[in-house]
Amino acid sequence: MVDYHTHTRLCKHGEGEVEEYVLKAIERGLDEIGCSEHMPMPDEFDLRHRMSLEEYYSIYAPAVSGVAERYKDRITVRRGLEAEFLPGYERWIENFIKENDFDYVIGSVHFLGTKGNVKPLFHVEYSEEAIEELHVEYFEAIRQSAFCRQYDIIGHCDLIKKFGVRSSKRIEEARWEALKAIKEADVCVEINTSGWRKPEQDTYPGIDVLELVHKLRIPLTLGSDAHKPEQVAMGYERVGELLDRFGSGRYSVFQKRQRSELTLLKSTTAC
Ligand SMILES: [Zn+2]
Ligand SMILES: [Zn+2]
């Protein structure tokens, strides 16, 4: 098993060092762990939830390389990133990804809107009337994030349900278009188990979206979105069942941005 979505103290809302996450992954018997801290952004954008560019190059990147080497006989450490999708910053994000030798890049929508006019999806409340529109906007952003072809994995692809699950014809259409784009762009969806630690008590995406993911044969991968070392692989005792049901027991792994698929029995086939 792999855990491709982990953070550290550097994002300022997490705890622990890269090494502690890797040690926890070894203890939990994982084959691979991916280090995917929130990406640095320019203009001090949302600096309170991420490291600076300087910290990335002086602390995080060397820490990941260091543990990859130090523990290579016990676990494979992948160099990942949780990148933003935010119109207006595409060029900067593309250059940052190009400059670094990632094994995979997760594309996540944490903000709606565009540069200079963003609506955050954290630490805010929206009025009841705004929530349907937010769902539609969110899935439209997910659709665009798949088409921009910067990302290998779409992160927590129904995160918007944190504001309350809503269903309407417009939301369902926007969600379906987003999933079709993910399929067409040949990117992967993560089963993010962090929702089991939150009031939603549901993975991202939940069963309703996983059914559509399965229908479209979108490849899956796994992540805990751990923000503390003890959260590595959290919920994995239940995740195998979801992989069996919605991914035919297969999950994707990445090396230098090349995807291959493994089955839960660990036989490997190239995609
Ligand atoms: Zn985070
Ligand atoms: Zn995220």
Q: Which helix (H) or strand (E) holds 222?
A: strand 220-223
Q: How far is the CA of 13 from the centre of ligand 1 (A)?
A: 6
| Lowest mean per-residue pLDDT among 16-25, 120-129, 207-216 | 120-129
Check: CB of residue 227 under 8 Å from CB of residue 9.
no
Q: Scan for tokens 């959290």, then name that residue.
A: 234
The span from the CA of 147 to the CA of 178, in Å, is 9
Q: Which two tokens stand for residue 208?
A: 């309703």
Check: CB of residue 7 under 8 Å from CB of residue 226.
yes
Counting ligands in written order, the one closest to the CA of 108 is 2
Which tens digit of pLDDT belongs to each residue from 162-196?
A: 999 888 999 999 999 999 999 999 999 999 999 99
pLDDT tier for residue 270 given thresholds of 50, 70 and 90 = very low
Q: What is the pTM of this model?
A: 0.96
pLDDT at 269: 43
pLDDT at 208: 96
Residue 267 reports pLDDT greater than 70:
no
What mean pLDDT is reported for the chain? 95
Mean pLDDT computed over 195-210:
95
CATH number of the CATH domain containing 168? 3.20.20.140
Report the domain count for the chain. Answer: 1
Check: CB of residue 216 under 8 Å from CB of residue 246.
no
Q: How far is the CA of 209 from the centre of ligand 1 (A)?
A: 22
Instruction: For residue 137, give its domain range.
Output: 2-270
Q: Which two tokens stand for residue 236?
A: 């994995």
The span from the CA of 210 to the CA of 203, in Å, is 10
The span from the CA of 197 to the CA of 244, in Å, is 22
Q: How far is the CA of 132 from the centre of ligand 1 (A)?
A: 24
Counting ligands in written order, the one closest to the CA of 153 is 2
Residue 271 reports pLDDT greater than 50:
no
